[in-house]
Chains A and B, each alone.
Chain A
Amino acid sequence: MPLPPVSGVTAFIEKLYREQSRRILATLIRLLGSFELAEEALHDAFSVAIKQWPTQGIPENPRAWLISTGRFKAIDKLRRQERFKQLAQEHAEISEHAIVDGNENLDYIEDDSLRLIFTCCHPALSTEARVALTLREVCGLTTEEVASAFLTKPTTLAQRIVRAKRKIKNANIPYEIPQSEDIPKRLNTVLQVIYLVFNEGYSASAGEQLQRSELTNEAIRLARLLCSLMDEPEVHGLLALMLFQASRQQARIGAGGELLRLHEQDRSLWNQAMITEADVLVKAALSAKHIGVYSLQAAIAGVHATATTSAETDWREILGLYNLLLQINNSPVVTLNRAVAVGHVFGPEAALNEIEQLIVKEHLKDYYLLHSTHAYFLQELGDTKSAAASYQRALSFTEQQHERDFLERCIRELN
């Protein structure tokens, strides 16, 4: 390859780092059997590239070159450290069986990203650790970025990551894609992590900022990556669900920064490209043999997203989908959401009946949306006094400023 100008090479390396470093890391973890060693190796490999490529040219297969350089550097480092003598020997033996040049089975390298995702989302790790590790290792966010997105101190977050990596090493969590019979169960924790990241971005649990688009974008990016790596209907379903929700990001905040309900939103602000993409995905997911919870929620979001006006929303279709969802996920949150559909199809009394059953069973009693939904249907029925009391109760269960503003606006509108 002819030598491009130095600045061109630097830009090329930067681009390569942005686009490929996570995949290279994923392979190095497999080859070296350690997150720490792999991270150092990745750093070393890129350092060598910055020094060598401007004068010696860009290798024909940059990724394979970086992987093999990183691996070589790591083994070299291990060999030089006397106290790791034993370990170095083991790694040298491993590396003989796992030579990386352009010839290694490409599918095997592609699968490394999937190995990394499944390891970071292993059920033996705490949910917080799964989220932190995935954002750090799979998405390549810095510890500071992850900490600020979750309003945690960087030191706390760094500790969480260190502890998780220590567990992966000491408890010997394998670096592998689960066997096919375990995929549905293990995929579930992966999807949960992705949706958790999305939700934290879509309605941040604390702080003044309602939306953190860096998190919603990361979650969508992760789901796209997962879609490209495995053909599972629920992955498509989750991506569709997030795209439908994200399509309203511009429209759900009013001119005064206030949170707007679906029927108050200017639908021309909805992102049509996202809706179209999600619509295709959800249709494919629904034609699968087993329809999962994310696909059904996506289908429900899709009915809203494709209604031209709020009044034209097909609530019967939504109710039917909620009935299906309730069959596979009989949870209070689904029951509450279904109650809204019941209200639109059969009127406020029917909705209140459903909601009051939840209240009697003391389900979701700390959940502000239970009380605000209760209030909404009481108001529909004309019982403003009880509605006001329920909105007040809702207020006592949220610290999120936009949600508080929204509830206070509802109370003002009652009078």
Chain B
Amino acid sequence: MKYLCLVYANENNLHSLPESPHDSECHAYASQAADTGVLLAGQALQPVETATTVRVRGDQVTVTDGPFAETKEQLAGFYMIDARDLNEAIAFAEKIPPARVGSIEVRPVRELDV
């Protein structure tokens, strides 16, 4: 079963706390998970100041600056994984390096009803 692990953290101190992970650590964790087939896809994201929100209402397209919602912690990256069940997904999430300074939201993937 697929789970999306969303990494949320406060962008202002994500990289500056004593516990903050280095990119090399995140890369090593992702590479090892990709080798074992657990990690399907994963990326770190640019800060929310680079975000653009797009909406379509009728034939009207609106493009606005910034994220969809202002939050205390921002989406900083994601890992799409293949896990046996929620316990395995939680065990994976616990070891995602930025979990030490932010939080990981674990969401099961919904298969489209087609």
Contacts and interface: CB of A to CB of B under 8 A. Distances in A.
A174 B90 CA distance: 12
Given A170-B108, A172-B1, A172-B108, A124 B85 contact: no
Contacts of B90: 124
Nearest to B90: A124
A6 interface: no
A172 B88 CA distance: 10
Question: What is the interface residue range for chain B against chain A?
Answer: under 10
Interface in A172-223: 172-174, 176, 178
Contact of A174 (B86, B106, B108, B110): B86
> Taking each of B85, B86, B90, B110, which has the highest tally of chain A beta carbons within 10 Å of its own beta carbon?
B86
A172 B2 CA distance: 10
Interface in B26-84: 84
A66 B110 CA distance: 35
Interface in A133-186: 170-174, 176, 178
Interface in B76-105: 84-87, 90
Q: Is the interface of A mostly helix, strand, loop or mixed?
A: loop
A178 B110 CA distance: 26
B86 to A, nearest CB: 5
Contacts of B87: 173-174, 176, 178
A176 B87 CA distance: 10
The winner among A172, A176, A178 for most chain B CB atoms within 10 A is: A172
A350 B79 CA distance: 54
A257 B106 CA distance: 50
A39 B105 CA distance: 31
Nearest to B85: A174
Q: Which of A170, A171, A173 is most buried by chain B, counting CB atoms within 10 A of its CB?
A: A171
Contacts, number: 21
B110 to A, nearest CB: 8
A171 B85 CA distance: 8
Contacts of A176: 87
B94 to A, nearest CB: 11
Contacts of A174: 84-87
A171 B1 CA distance: 9
Nearest to A172: B85
Nearest to B110: A170
A46 B106 CA distance: 39
A318 B84 CA distance: 47
A173 B106 CA distance: 12
Contacts of B1: 172
A173 B108 CA distance: 10
A172 B84 CA distance: 9
Contacts of A178: 87
Nearest to A179: B87
A174 B86 CA distance: 7
Contacts of B85: 172-174
Contacts of A124: 86, 90
A171 B84 CA distance: 11
Nearest to B83: A172
A180 to B, nearest CB: 14
B104 to A, nearest CB: 13
Nearest to A169: B108
Interface string B1-41: 10000000000000000000000000000000000000000
A407 B85 CA distance: 51
Nearest to A124: B86
Nearest to A168: B86
A175 to B, nearest CB: 9
Nearest to B88: A174
Contacts of A170: 108, 110
A128 B103 CA distance: 22
A174 B84 CA distance: 9
Interface string A104-136: 000000000000000000101000000000000
Contacts of B110: 170
A124 B88 CA distance: 13
Nearest to A173: B86
Given A124-B90, A171-B86, A178-B87, 18 more contacts: A122-B86, A124-B86, A170-B108, A170-B110, A171-B106, A171-B108, A172-B1, A172-B85, A172-B86, A172-B108, A173-B85, A173-B86, A173-B87, A174-B84, A174-B85, A174-B86, A174-B87, A176-B87
16 contacts: A124-B86, A170-B108, A170-B110, A171-B86, A171-B106, A171-B108, A172-B1, A172-B85, A172-B108, A173-B85, A173-B86, A173-B87, A174-B84, A174-B85, A174-B87, A178-B87
- Give 9 nearest A-B pairs by CB, closest first: A174-B85, A172-B85, A171-B108, A173-B86, A171-B86, A172-B1, A172-B86, A174-B87, A170-B108
Interface of B: 1, 84-87, 90, 106, 108, 110
